[in-house]
Structure 1
Amino acid sequence: MPQTLLFACDLSAENRAAFARAVRLAVDNGARLDVLHVLDPHLPHQALRDLEDAVVADMERTLQDLREDYALPEPEVLIQTMTGEPYAEIVREAHERKASLIMLGTHRKRGQPDLVGGTTLARVMRSAPCPVFSVSHSPDQPWRDILVPVDFSMAGRQVLRQALTRFPEACLTLLYAWDIPGEHELASNSDYARWRDSELAGLRRQLEREVDALLDELGDVPELELVLEQGDPDEVLASRLRRLPPDLLALSNQYRRGRDHYNVLNEQLLADPHCDLMICRAW
């Protein structure tokens, strides 16, 4: 059975890059592309019928324009509208269609992380049964350089597995944030420095064994680089994105655990994306 890629289209200008990326992925993977737009169910019935025809026509025109702009072949496409709460309908349709991924454009509240949590994008990312891609960059650039923060939790392993299997020709950077007790107070002490370096060498060996064990399960894998950086995981990731933004950042939907043990997406990443995002469920 061919894969189904679900693209949630909101007809905005910000959606164009995601739409084109979805078409490219569908073609490359021999998948069917289901393009979905969710309408407001509270509109009058006649208005809904008229709007549905207009929306479908607009999505068809956009698809044709994107194929011409980016010289894309035509994939198998199903364009539909439905009514309801956008995030709930997107998640439900992903379940029913057994979608292998959901593609959305970036949200329009850039630079406003306090407003991100209730957006359709953030709510879909928290609840989707499959990886969710948020795309804001040009589809002309392949996802060759992929950054995967790792902690080897169950959620982290799932993200790494998804990245390894979906992008076998990419270069993956595995970023591990470490924090050894006494570093800030004793870093200048030579005895401590030797002990710390020994601990870090042991940590790297342990992480390499973890990676090798996963690679043995998967067979053919992409090029990998393991990077250890000191600091809080969120700060280490933010610094890396500023210095060396990848093509794609792969995270779990439980990546960040706040002080109150409340699992949330890192809303700053959604508010100010340095790259495209892939968010995976924790299992």
Structure 2
Amino acid sequence: MSDRFKVLIPTDFSDCARNALAHALYLTKRYDGEIHLLHAVELPTIAVTDMPPDMFDIEEERALERMEDLLEEHAVHQARTSRVHTAVRPGKPTEPAAEVILDYAEDAEIDMIVMGTHGRRGARRLLLGSVAEQVIRGAECPVFAVRETEKAWPLPSVDTILVPVDFSAGTDDVINEAIDLAGHYDAAIRLLHVVDIDTYPHYGIAVDPVIELAEKTAQAARKELEKIADRITVGHLAVFVSVERGHAASTISEYAVDCDVDLIVLGSHGRSGLDRLLLGSVAEKTLRMAHCPVVVVR
């Protein structure tokens, strides 16, 4: 069994998926990792009269040829090393693409999934119920989500990683993933806590006490962030700490733009918990609004 870092790139050959492949190839180079390129063929549940009996075989051959073209385009010659794997799997309404991707990730013991936020059907933003959202909420490993607007190649360097911190149970996992990525990218880390204005009720409370409570919360958050920063800087990574007030997702997205952030790493669920079948509202909104790729950690 290989102990290399395994990256799965689902592709439907859309521009967004091509951008995701470029990011994944750069990432696997940093990790000296293993590439798994996967395409799910959509097959009808009921046979069509003029549908060839070997339809999957035909589509599989086409998909493998297109995968080869993609890899050659990025100078990944499958020449053929054990570090590059291509696979085509059948998909149908009873087993949609997301399930095919998740099953493959589990079977191949994938360490990270890198995929576009939307595919050939198109969508202005990541929509609830899309393949990407279903994969993000179901994956056991981190998912690196790439927007269609991302530059495909050559990739911009990842110099700054933003880590929104809400001090929930999964915070350590998010921090550790960010540290790992920052080490491979040689990037600085920005820790951000947002004092969400929605958490402070205004009914029956004077303005001054609310402001005072928010200030105390911000001060306490900064102290906790500084403790985390002290732990991270032991590894000689540059770490910056910020506390902002506002709506969590929009504040995270605006901060990312203002600070020229190249990558956001955040948890799939926050302090509210939620069932594993749901994606936390802050994570979902950030995925929709962020100008850069987002890594979602369960």
Shorter-normalised TM range: 0.7 to 0.9
Looking at structure 2, the residues matched to 196 and 249 of structure 1 have their Cα atoms a distance apart, in angstroms, of 25
Q: Equivalent residue of 2:291, what SS?
A: coil
Residues 132 and 197 of structure 1: is their aligned pair in 2 closer, same or farther, counting only changes over 3 Å?
Answer: closer
**Structure 2: gaps (5+ residues):** none
1:126 to 137, 152, 164: 137
TM-score between the two structures when normalised by the length of structure 1: 0.81
1:147, 1:175 within 8 Å by CA — same for their partners in 2?
yes
Looking at structure 2, the residues matched to 52 and 135 of structure 1 have their Cα atoms a distance apart, in angstroms, of 25
Residues 202 and 19 of structure 1: is their aligned pair in 2 closer, same or farther, counting only changes over 3 Å?
Answer: closer
1:225 to 212, 223, 240: 240
Q: How far apart are 1:233 and its partner, in Å?
A: 2.0
Residues 224 and 74 of structure 1: is their aligned pair in 2 closer, same or farther, counting only changes over 3 Å?
Answer: farther
Q: How far apart are 1:62 and its partner, in Å?
A: 1.3
The CA deviation string for residues 13-67 of structure 1, in whole angstroms up to 9 with x for no partner, is 2222211121222222121101000112437541211111011001101111122
Q: Equivalent residue of 1:99, what SS?
A: coil
The CA deviation string for residues 67-116 of structure 1, in whole angstroms up to 9 with x for no partner, is 28xx9x99721111011221111111111111110010231544356xx1
Report the counterpart of residue 111 of structure 1 in structure 2.
124
Report the counterpart of residue 275 of structure 1 in structure 2.
292
Q: How far apart are 1:270 and its partner, in Å?
A: 3.4
Report the counterpart of residue 207 of structure 1 in structure 2.
225
2:39 to 37, 41, 46: 37
Q: How far apart are 1:257 and its partner, in Å?
A: 5.0
Looking at structure 2, the residues matched to 160 and 279 of structure 1 have their Cα atoms a distance apart, in angstroms, of 12
Q: Equivalent residue of 1:161, what SS?
A: helix
Structure 1 vs Structure 2 CA RMSD:
3.3
Does the alignment pair 1:161 with 2:179? no
Residues 111 and 221 of structure 1: is their aligned pair in 2 closer, same or farther, counting only changes over 3 Å?
Answer: farther
Report the counterpart of residue 268 of structure 2 in structure 1.
253
Report the counterpart of residue 147 of structure 1 in structure 2.
162
2:268, 2:280 within 8 Å by CA — same for their partners in 1?
yes
Listed as ranges, the matches of 1:174-213 within 5 Å are 174-178=191-195, 185-186=207-208, 200-212=218-230
**Structure 1: gaps (5+ residues):** none
Looking at structure 1, the residues matched to 80 and 40 of structure 2 have their Cα atoms a distance apart, in angstroms, of 23
Report the counterpart of residue 103 of structure 2 in structure 1.
92
Looking at structure 2, the residues matched to 117 and 66 of structure 1 have their Cα atoms a distance apart, in angstroms, of 31
2:253, 2:291 within 8 Å by CA — same for their partners in 1?
no
Residues 111 and 11 of structure 1: is their aligned pair in 2 closer, same or farther, counting only changes over 3 Å?
Answer: closer
